[in-house]
């Protein structure tokens, strides 16, 4: 079962910061997950649309300039990193799951990843995921796609088929054995978020889940 550092090792370091990603790798994560928004043409790694929860800023991301956002403290003196900075930090030591969180993120993410692939990175080092399946469909097909769901649906496999998805990414609260088995029959990986408690980790192992997103990678 693959352990994916959810926003890095965000149980121990400020989420979506270089410190959290470095810690996740040191804890043996073969994949790290992050969230991107685009501000003034730059891809910023941050989860929320607003600033209050994870930084010392106020208001919405889109209300501010890139310069202002880069000056904020994202926790423990860390700044909001760019996607390029995170990729350069990881430097082939782990695969990178990029969640297309903000609107209109697929095209600039494609551009950056294609540039990196032209410089020696491999498409297999990147995974694109999103709850916004229309946005995810805009991802370049050479990058694996993970279709995210936070609600039970009768249409999981219609969506994954339409997206030619690599994985079905489900909330811990909705995953069950039948869905896992059906996904595997269709050649899909099953990745579950966010799995932090030891009993839940073990339950996912028994269920045959392929990967878990966790804030505490050392618990797996």
Catalytic residue numbers read 6, 47
Are the C-beta atoms of 200 and 170 separated by less than 8 Å?
Answer: no
Distance CA 103, CA 101 (A): 7
Residues present in the chain in total: 220
Are the C-beta atoms of 80 and 72 separated by less than 8 Å?
Answer: yes
DSSP string, 120-182: T--GGGEEEEES-HHHHTTS-TTSEEEEEESS--TTHHHHHHHHT-SEEEEETTT--HHHHHH
Nearest Cα residue to 175 out of 161, 189, 165: 189
Are the C-beta atoms of 9 and 216 separated by less than 8 Å?
Answer: yes
Distance CA 46, CA 61 (A): 9
Nearest Cα residue to 1 out of 148, 215, 214, 186: 214
């Amino acid at each position: 079962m693959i352990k994916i550092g959810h926003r890095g090792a965000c149980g121990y370091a400020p989420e979506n910061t270089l410190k959290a990603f470095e810690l996740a790798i040191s804890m043996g994560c073969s994949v790290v997950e992050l969230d991107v928004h685009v501000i003034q043409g730059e891809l910023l790694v941050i989860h929320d649309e607003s600033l209050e929860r994870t930084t010392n800023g106020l208001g919405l991301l889109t209300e501010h300039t890139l310069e202002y956002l880069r000056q904020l403290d994202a926790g423990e003196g860390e700044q909001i990193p760019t996607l390029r900075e995170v990729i350069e930090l990881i430097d082939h030591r782990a695969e990178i799951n990029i969640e297309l969180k903000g609107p209109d993120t697929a095209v600039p993410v494609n551009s950056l990843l294609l540039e990196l692939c032209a410089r020696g990175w491999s498409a297999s080092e990147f995974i694109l995921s999103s709850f916004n399946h229309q946005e995810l469909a805009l991802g370049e097909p050479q990058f694996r796609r993970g279709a995210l769901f936070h609600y039970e649906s009768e249409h999981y496999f219609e969506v994954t088929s339409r997206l030619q998805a690599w994985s079905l990414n489900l909330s811990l609260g909705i995953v069950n054995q039948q869905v896992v088995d059906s996904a595997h029959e269709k050649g899909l990986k099953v990745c579950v978020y966010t799995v932090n408690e030891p009993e839940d980790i073990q339950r996912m192992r028994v269920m045959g889940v392929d990967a878990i997103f966790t804030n505490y990678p050392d618990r797996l």
